[in-house]
Amino acid sequence: MKKAVVIGSGPAGLTAGIRLAEGGWDVTVLEQQAGPGGNLRSWTREGHTIDNCLHWLNGTREGSSLNRLWRSLGVLGDGVGVVRSPFFYRSHLAGSTLTMWRDPDRTEAELSEKSPRDARAVRRFFHAARTLAYGSPFARAAAVARWYRVSVGDFADSLYDRDLGVFFSDYLGREYATLGLLFAYSAFLSGDADLPAGGSPGVAERMAEKFAAAGGKLICSVRVTGIVVKNGRAEAVLTDRGDAFDADRVIAACDPHVTFSRLLPREYAPQALERTDHDPRTPRFSSLHAAFSLPSPFPPGAAWTNVIAGDKAKLPERTGGRVILRSFAHEPGFAPEGKTVLQAICFLSDADAGTWLARGADYAEKKAAFVESVEGAIKEAFPYSAPRAIDAWTPATYLRYTSADRGDYIGWLLPSGVIPPRLPERVKGLSNVSLASGWCRMPGGLPTAARSGARAAADILIRDPAPRSFPGVTPPGRGKSKKRRKFDLPS
């Protein structure tokens, strides 16, 4: 049986592992954390589950190729429920709220009523959202071309009503491409960006189970320290425990920065990685987080995703004084009886992220001040909520747990007017090493990670089918049908 070693058990690594194990390979996934899931991993504080990842999962609508991919990985299907919130997010503004409802007609009507002078711009935005959700490929391409160069900040500034400007820039931030917001909202309105029941921990657990059921081996709490290369091939994978795993194929499913700075000589790094790293137009994605325990019943106005005002002087500059809150009242199992969890997120500029990563002497003090400021904002927005802080984490935390460069966690921020870079799954110059990662393509996220893992595995299975028969599996190019085996490759 041919052997594959996968470095990292995030969604990319687990996807590659599942696919290869199902294809008859002997697969070992090595993970430095104590459990699988990468950024999907959750943790508990005082009996509360902190869901680190999922704001939404693209691919929840049945019938799409992404949905088929998630089903094949055990993430969706088989009785897994999908949680659908009535709105994408809600902005709390001085004396009023504005809501991005699932229904674009309702949202458009409410926003136009709030600012009749902005009705035309608002109509254009929602026309594009509907087009991206339901339009023909031609109409979609035209919408992409029309919005390609417009950042969220540009769009917000073009509006007469200041509140509307804040509303449109509240969720993804001003630097993001409006197209990114449009893609996210159009997926949401069409029911393709909802939440699998059980949240991030549920997804991680089901993927790990699927991998184990396919015969894969997962070894946690072991850090890969290097890949031994000889004659243009990887010969073995070394770990901090002193083990050497030999492998016919190696898939590096950690951040490519880790791969090309610590595991392999830099000369193998794809040019696209070097380019985006030094391109100021492709900033990175990191943030500050805090979690709070709230007594249940939960203040109804705080349900789902809300953006509230905080103290501008005390919050990171990039937030413009806004705090994104996610409630988990829809997951009663995430908190002890009579309690619920509320998580806060504040995006950081590259410069601010750098100061958190430096972990200066005032790190703990700064973290406490951040928590206090967010707690004050929650009390102000929801006076009867009585939040109690249970945890806070920063880019330094992500760096410690996932090793991802600069503690980033979602590939690159999607800016306007930039053609997304793409890292090839094959590593040039090494015949048996592949990449699989959410960092392989902009804008990253779970679909990018899983597709990248599926592509890396498909590439191996197509090029290098193991020379034996596999129960229930027809290797590519074999069997009765002359058709190529179908993989969930990006369309």
Region from 33-41, 267-275, 306-314, 422-430 binding ligand FAD, contact rule CB under 6 A: 33-41
Where on the phi/psi map is residue 8: left (φ > 0), alpha (ψ -120 to 50), or beta?
A: left
Cβ closer to ligand FAD: 159 or 258?
258
Q: What are 141's strand-pairing partners?
A: none
CB of 19 to ligand FAD, least distance (A): 14
- Residue given tokens 């959750």 in the structure block: 42
Cβ closer to ligand FAD: 142 or 236?
236
C-beta separation of 275 from 421 below 8 A? yes
Upstream peptide bond of 297 is cis (omega within 30 degrees of 0): yes
Q: Residue 350 is encoded by which pair of tokens?
A: 């590259």
Touching ligand FAD, residues 178-217 (CB under 6 A)? none
- Looking at residue 77, its amino acid is G
**Is residue 38 at the binding interface for ligand FAD, with CB under 6 A as the rule?**
yes
Cβ closer to ligand FAD: 319 or 403?
403
Work out which of 53, 237, 269, 335 binds ligand FAD, going by CB under 6 A: 53
Work out which of 153, 201, 407, 444 binds ligand FAD, going by CB under 6 A: 444
Q: CB burial class (10 A; 0-12, 13-18, 19+) of residue 232?
A: exposed
Work out which of 114, 223, 233, 359 binds ligand FAD, going by CB under 6 A: 223
Q: How far apart are CA 254 and CA 449, in angstroms?
A: 10
First to last CA, the chain: 31
**Is residue 224 at the binding interface for ligand FAD, with CB under 6 A as the rule?**
yes
**Is residue 342 at the binding interface for ligand FAD, with CB under 6 A as the rule?**
no
Region from 73-81, 178-186, 250-258, 324-332 binding ligand FAD, contact rule CB under 6 A: 250-258
Neighbours of 349 (CB within 10 A): 17
CB of 195 to ligand FAD, least distance (A): 9
Touching ligand FAD, residues 373-402 (CB under 6 A)? 402
Q: How far apart are CA 25 and CA 359, in angstroms?
A: 43
Work out which of 203, 208, 251, 254 binds ligand FAD, going by CB under 6 A: 254
Work out which of 2, 5, 6, 10 binds ligand FAD, going by CB under 6 A: 10
Region from 30-38, 99-107, 148-156, 471-479 binding ligand FAD, contact rule CB under 6 A: 30-38
CB of 67 to ligand FAD, least distance (A): 14
Cβ closer to ligand FAD: 5 or 303?
5
**Is residue 258 at the binding interface for ligand FAD, with CB under 6 A as the rule?**
yes
C-beta separation of 129 from 143 below 8 A? no
**Is residue 69 at the binding interface for ligand FAD, with CB under 6 A as the rule?**
no
**Is residue 404 at the binding interface for ligand FAD, with CB under 6 A as the rule?**
yes
Close Cβ partners of 464 (under 8 Å, ≥ 6 residues apart): 2, 248, 249
Q: What is the DSSP string of 92-132?
A: EETTEEEEEESSHHHHHHHHHHH-GGGHHHHHHHHHHHHHH
Cβ closer to ligand FAD: 10 or 316?
10
**Is residue 403 at the binding interface for ligand FAD, with CB under 6 A as the rule?**
yes
Return the closest-CA partner of residue 202 out of 42, 350, 58, 85: 42
Q: How far apart are CA 292 and CA 371, in angstroms?
A: 9
C-beta separation of 47 from 64 below 8 A? no
Region from 3-11, 108-116, 168-176, 184-192 binding ligand FAD, contact rule CB under 6 A: 3-11
Helix 178-189 and helix 119-134, axial crossing angle in degrees, nearest 10: 60
- Looking at residue 114, its amino acid is K
Work out which of 23, 438, 465, 475 binds ligand FAD, going by CB under 6 A: 438
Close Cβ partners of 231 (under 8 Å, ≥ 6 residues apart): none
Cβ closer to ligand FAD: 140 or 223?
223
CA-based torsion, 149, 152, 153, 156: positive or negative = positive
Cβ closer to ligand FAD: 299 or 395?
395
Work out which of 111, 218, 253, 308 binds ligand FAD, going by CB under 6 A: 253
Cβ closer to ligand FAD: 122 or 433?
433
Q: How far apart are CA 76 and CA 194, in angstroms?
A: 11
Work out which of 342, 410, 456, 466 binds ligand FAD, going by CB under 6 A: 410
Report CA 400 to chain centroid distance, whole Å: 18
**Is residue 73 at the binding interface for ligand FAD, with CB under 6 A as the rule?**
no
Neighbours of 48 (CB within 10 A): 24
CB of 262 to ligand FAD, least distance (A): 7
Cβ closer to ligand FAD: 40 or 396?
40
**Residues at the contact surface with ligand FAD, assessed by CB under 6 A:** 7-13, 30-33, 38-40, 52-56, 223-224, 253-254, 258, 402-404, 409-410, 437-438, 444-446, 449
